[in-house]
Structure 1
Amino acid sequence: MASNKGGIAQLAPVNTDNVHQRVYMQMRQAIMSGKFRPGETLTLRPLAAALGTSVIPARDAVLRLVTERALENHRRSVRVPLLALEELRDVERYRILLESEAAALAAARASDDDLLAIEQASARAEKAYRSNKIERFLVANQEFHFAVYAAAHSDLLQSIIEKLWLQVGPHLGALVDSMRESDLSEIVDLAHHQELVRALKARDADGARAALAADLEDSTDVYRPYRDGDVAVHG
């Protein structure tokens, strides 16, 4: 598996229609999905070049992401925040509270199309898991979670959850670097995904809440190498 070359190298040129929004959304998704690493520095000209735009849309996107705390000002550039251990624990705590509530709402509100999208995302995550494709699994896992949160049909709740993922995404990326020779089955248990899908289909809000909370509680163990200082960050 190729080593991480930095988040900018993984961006793609954007369509020029509504370019400011497209630049912002691509950068936002890249941070959430772990393409950038904690402490990684971004400068505008390389960023704009990677996105195929002028500096202005890149600068506007960076400013928006700074206000969302997804990036922070650092000297004469910006960087992905380096969270202290207690800050990361706070993110984990509020993820469990809010994302499990979204799962409970999804049990009550999900349409048949929502449930199909959730099952399909779960299948993609399981396929990546079975083939031990770590980066592919992280993408599919995010798609699964957000299919569940979309099924809650609460724009406000989903927007808050997205902001928490902006905080935790780079830490997942840092973990990818430390897990390239690992077996996913040693650190991830898909049983909670399966329990969550069953609860959603049964319209069992309490069961969905419990399954999602258990999934997140287990997944926070995966962050421990980063939290305890065993995973390198980009300074």
Structure 2
Amino acid sequence: MSVVSLDTAGGDGKVHDQVYDALADALIKGQIPPLNPVSLRTLAANLGVSPMPVREAVRRLIAEKALELQASNKRLRVPDLTEKRVLQLMKAREWVEPELAALATPRMTKDAIRRLRDDDAKLMKALSSGDVGGYMQANQDFHFCIYAQADADLFYDLARTLWLQVGPFMRVVFGRLGTVQLPKDHHQDMIAAFESGDPEAVRVSMQADVREGMEMMLDVIRSRAEPEPKRRRAQSK
């Protein structure tokens, strides 16, 4: 089964950078399922490259805690998320992403706002049609359009590292709940705040958007840990 292909990275540059970008993009989109072992050789075959650039990319992703190497069989997998880990990721995202959004406010151009509107329209279309992959792509495009406008490379890289760890589990959440059960996002509030040039309103909207998404993930993690009879009783209420 192909989990990733090199053309997801796009662009020019060195092969190992393209491989890293392709794997990172697949992780953010949730295309590599959590706890699903995959060999380095399989990844290299899917990408159509030799194992060497894949090995380099994997080392970076392990350092970023997006992948782990299983000692038992030397296969790679997305590590499991515990409640403690989700809470830490939520705190980190609630700090760095609202900060990026606030920094982006005075730099937000009309073209960037137009892209945000387009991304949000694609997101809403994906929601109504039950297209989980389309939803995740549009949501990623919306957020990183904002973060790119902040002109803060360190914060941008931090946000991307956090999304690498969150993406595979967001895909699980959306796959379990379906797009119709997702709460209303705060994208339109953010766009309005960008247009009025209000960084604090942008910050508040982004923080709420991040928190609600992470709380959904937390609910799924917690329900997974509940004993089956308790879960059935809760669902029957």
Fold similarity call, TM over 0.5:
yes
> What's 1:47 paired with?
43
Cα distance 1:17–1:160, how it changes in 2: closer, same or farther (>3 A)? closer
Q: Choose the corresponding residue for 1:131, options 129, 132, 138.
A: 129
Provide, for residues 144-186 of structure 1, a one-character-per-residue CA deviation record: whole Å limited to 9, x for no partner.
Answer: 111111111211110010011111111112224323xx3x343
Query: Contact 1:96–1:213 (CA<8 Å) still a contact in 2?
Result: yes
> What's 1:59 paired with?
55
> What's 2:34 paired with?
38
> What's 1:167 paired with?
165
Q: Choose the corresponding residue for 2:222, options 205, 220, 228.
A: 228
Gaps of at least 5 residues in structure 1 are: none
Structure 1 position 49, deviation (Å)? 0.6
Query: Contact 2:101–2:146 (CA<8 Å) still a contact in 1?
Result: yes
User: Given residue 63 of structure 1, which amino acid in structure 2 is its aligned partner?
Assistant: R
Structure 1 position 188, deviation (Å)? 2.4
**Residue 10 (str. 1) matches residue 3 (str. 2):** yes
> What's 2:70 paired with?
74
Distance (whole Å) between structure 1 residues aligned to residue 167 and residue 183 of structure 2: 17
Query: Contact 1:118–1:197 (CA<8 Å) still a contact in 2?
Result: yes
Distance (whole Å) between structure 1 residues aligned to residue 95 and residue 145 of structure 2: 18
Distance (whole Å) between structure 2 residues aligned to residue 107 and residue 90 of structure 1: 26
Other structure's SS at 2:224 match: coil
> What's 1:97 paired with?
95
Distance (whole Å) between structure 2 residues aligned to residue 224 and residue 99 of structure 1: 19
> What's 1:178 paired with?
176
Distance (whole Å) between structure 2 residues aligned to residue 24 and residue 40 of structure 1: 19
Q: Choose the corresponding residue for 2:203, options 202, 209, 219.
A: 209
Aligned-residue Cα RMSD (Å) equals 2.0
Distance (whole Å) between structure 1 residues aligned to residue 93 and residue 108 of structure 2: 20
Q: Which stretch of the first structure deviates more once superposed, 118-127 or 83-92? A: 118-127
Give the structure with the higher percent helix: 2
User: Given residue 157 of structure 2, which amino acid in structure 1 is its aligned partner?
Assistant: S
Distance (whole Å) between structure 2 residues aligned to residue 37 and residue 13 of structure 1: 18
> What's 2:23 paired with?
27
Q: How many residues align?
A: 220
Gaps of at least 5 residues in structure 2 are: 226-237
| Same amino acid, percent of matched pairs | 31
Query: Contact 1:171–1:226 (CA<8 Å) still a contact in 2?
Result: no
Structure 1 position 34, deviation (Å)? 0.9
Query: Contact 1:39–1:80 (CA<8 Å) still a contact in 2?
Result: yes
Q: Structure 2 length normalisation: TM-score?
A: 0.86
Provide, for residues 1-29 of structure 1, a one-character-per-residue CA deviation record: whole Å limited to 9, x for no partner.
Answer: xxxx6xxx231245896211111100011
Query: Contact 1:24–1:62 (CA<8 Å) still a contact in 2?
Result: yes
Distance (whole Å) between structure 1 residues aligned to residue 6 and residue 161 of structure 2: 24
User: Given residue 224 of structure 1, which amino acid in structure 2 is its aligned partner?
Assistant: L
